[in-house]
C-alpha cells in the first residue's frame, strides 16, 4: 500500500505544496470513511442510544435497573438464553461436517461441481421457505414419518416439532443442514488455494488419507475454521429468530421448547407491548454477542494479515 502511494505521487502531486501533502498524509483514510461512517453512526448509533435509554425507562419514567432485573429473573428469558447456549453445541458439529464435506469434495475428482452445488444449495434457500417445507415434512403424519412407517421404522417416526423434548434438537438439525454449506464452501476455497507440494510429498512418503489431512491440511485451515466457528456462534446466539419464528408460528413452542432470546425480544416488543423489557433483553443480548463479535474481528484481522494475503 505504502509503495503504491509513493510511486503514484510524483505523477499527480507536483502542484501540491509540501504543507498540503502533509495534511493529506495526516488525514489518512478518514476522509474516505467519514461519509459512510456518519451514515452508519446516524442510523445505528442513534438507535443504540435510544435502545439503551429505553432499557432504563418505563413509559418514559426512569426506573434504573428494574427492567434488567425483571428480564433476568424471567424464567422464559432464562429458558431462551439456555436454548441459545444449547444451540452453541451445534457449532462443533457444523465445523466437523463442513470440514468433512470440504475434504471429500476436495478429494472428489468427478462431479465436484455438482456436489459443491448440492451442499451449498440449502444455504441459498430463504429461511421462510426452509421453515415452511420442514414444518410440513416433519409433522407427526408428514412425509418423513410416512416414509419411515412404510419402511417398518415406526419407532423412528417421532413428533419432530410437536414434542417438547424433541423440538429443539430437530430445529438444530435443520439449522445445521442449512448452515453447513457455507462452511463447506469457505473451507474448500481455502483448501484449493493451499500449496500442493506438501500433500504430494506426504503421499509419496506413504501418508494415508486421515494422516495427510490431520497433519498437513488441518493446521493450514485453522484461521478459516476459527472464522467459520465464530461466525456460526454468532448465528446461534442472535440469528436463529427466523427459523424459530417460521417453524413454530412465532410461539417458540411447543410450550417454550424452542424459545430463543431473539424471539423473546420480538414478542416483548411487538406482541406483549413491553418495549422497555425488550430493550433490556436486547442490551443483554448485545453484551453477550459482543464477546463473539470481538473474537470475529480478531480472527478477521488475522485472516487479512495472514490467510487472505497468501
Task: Supply the minimum distance, in Å, between the C-beta of residue 270 and another protein.
Answer: 4
Decide: residue 102, CB within 10 A, 0-12 exposed, 13-18 middle, 19+ buried. Answer: buried
DSSP summary character for residue 269: I
Residue pointed to by grid coordinates 461441481: 113
Among 160, 182, 227, 243, binds another protein (CB under 8 A): 160
Among 108, 117, 146, 271, binds another protein (CB under 8 A): 271
CA pair distance 166, 231, nearest whole angstrom: 26
DSSP summary character for residue 157: -
Residue 103 or residue 235: which is nearer to another protein going by CB?
235
Task: Please report whether residue 133 would count as binding another protein according to CB under 8 A.
Answer: no
Residue among 36, 46, 55 nearest 287 (CA): 55
Where in 173-232 is the site for another protein (CB under 8 A)? Answer: none
Decide: residue 233, CB within 10 A, 0-12 exposed, 13-18 middle, 19+ buried. Answer: buried
Q: Phi/psi at 61 (nearest 5 deg)?
A: -95, 140
| Three-class SS state of 65 | coil
Residue 182 or residue 266: which is nearer to another protein going by CB?
266
Q: How far is CA 271 from its chain centroid? A: 26
Among 115, 123, 177, 239, binds another protein (CB under 8 A): 239
Task: Please report whether residue 79 would count as binding another protein according to CB under 8 A.
Answer: no
Residue among 165, 62, 186 nearest 119 (CA): 186
Among 142, 207, 220, 226, binds another protein (CB under 8 A): 142
Among 126, 201, 249, 308, binds another protein (CB under 8 A): 249
Task: Please report whether residue 140 would count as binding another protein according to CB under 8 A.
Answer: yes
Task: Supply the minimum distance, in Å, between the C-beta of residue 187 and another protein.
Answer: 23
Q: Both ends of the chain: CA-CA distance in Å?
A: 16
Q: Number of H helices and number of E strands within the chain?
A: 17, 2
Cα separations (Å) of 124 from 78, 115, 182?
Answer: 32, 15, 9
Task: Supply the minimum distance, in Å, between the C-beta of residue 249 and another protein.
Answer: 4
Task: Supply the minimum distance, in Å, between the C-beta of residue 111 and another protein.
Answer: 37
Residue among 246, 223, 237, 184 nearest 309 (CA): 223
Task: Please report whether residue 137 would count as binding another protein according to CB under 8 A.
Answer: no
- Contact yes or no for 285/261 (Cβ under 8 A): yes
Task: Please report whether residue 58 would count as binding another protein according to CB under 8 A.
Answer: yes
Among 24, 72, 76, 112, binds another protein (CB under 8 A): 76
Where in 1-40 is the site for another protein (CB under 8 A)? Answer: 40
Task: Please report whether residue 253 would count as binding another protein according to CB under 8 A.
Answer: yes
Number of residues that bind another protein (CB under 8 A): 64
Task: Please report whether residue 269 would count as binding another protein according to CB under 8 A.
Answer: yes
Applying CB under 8 A, the residues found at the interface with another protein are 40, 44-45, 47-48, 50-51, 54, 58-60, 70, 74, 76, 138-142, 159-165, 234, 238-239, 241, 248-251, 253-256, 262, 265-267, 269-275, 277-279, 282-283, 285-286, 289-290, 293-294, 296-298, 301
Amino acid at each position: 500500500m505504502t509503495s503504491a502511494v509513493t510511486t503514484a505521487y510524483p505523477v499527480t502531486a507536483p502542484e501540491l505544496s509540501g504543507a498540503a501533502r502533509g495534511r493529506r498524509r495526516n488525514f489518512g483514510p478518514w476522509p474516505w470513511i467519514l461519509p459512510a461512517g456518519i451514515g452508519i453512526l446516524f442510523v445505528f448509533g442513534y438507535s443504540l442510544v435510544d435502545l439503551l435509554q429505553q432499557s432504563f425507562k418505563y413509559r418514559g419514567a426512569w426506573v434504573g435497573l428494574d427492567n434488567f432485573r425483571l428480564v433476568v429473573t424471567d424464567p422464559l428469558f432464562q429458558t431462551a438464553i439456555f436454548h441459545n447456549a444449547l444451540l452453541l453445541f451445534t457449532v462443533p458439529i457444523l465445523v466437523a461436517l463442513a470440514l468433512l464435506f470440504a475434504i471429500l469434495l476436495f478429494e472428489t475428482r468427478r462431479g465436484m461441481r455438482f456436489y459443491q452445488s448440492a451442499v451449498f444449495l440449502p444455504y441459498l434457500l430463504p429461511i421462510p421457505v426452509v421453515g415452511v417445507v420442514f414444518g410440513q415434512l416433519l409433522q407427526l403424519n408428514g412425509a418423513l414419518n410416512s416414509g419411515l412407517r412404510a419402511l417398518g421404522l415406526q419407532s423412528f417416526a417421532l413428533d419432530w416439532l410437536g414434542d417438547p423434548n424433541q423440538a429443539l434438537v430437530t430445529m438444530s438439525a435443520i439449522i445445521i443442514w442449512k448452515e453447513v454449506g457455507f462452511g463447506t464452501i469457505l473451507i474448500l476455497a481455502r483448501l484449493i488455494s493451499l500449496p500442493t507440494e506438501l500433500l504430494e510429498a506426504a503421499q509419496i512418503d506413504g501418508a494415508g488419507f486421515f494422516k495427510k489431512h490431520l497433519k498437513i491440511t488441518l493446521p493450514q485451515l485453522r484461521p478459516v475454521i476459527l472464522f467459520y466457528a465464530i461466525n456460526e456462534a454468532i448465528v446461534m446466539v442472535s440469528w436463529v429468530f427466523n427459523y424459530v419464528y417460521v417453524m413454530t408460528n412465532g410461539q417458540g413452542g411447543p410450550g417454550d421448547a424452542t424459545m430463543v432470546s431473539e424471539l423473546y425480544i420480538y414478542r416483548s416488543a411487538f406482541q406483549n407491548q413491553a418495549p422497555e423489557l425488550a430493550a433490556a433483553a436486547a442490551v443483554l443480548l448485545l453484551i453477550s454477542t459482543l464477546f463473539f463479535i470481538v473474537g470475529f474481528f480478531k480472527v478477521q484481522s488475522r485472516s487479512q494479515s495472514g490467510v487472505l494475503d497468501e
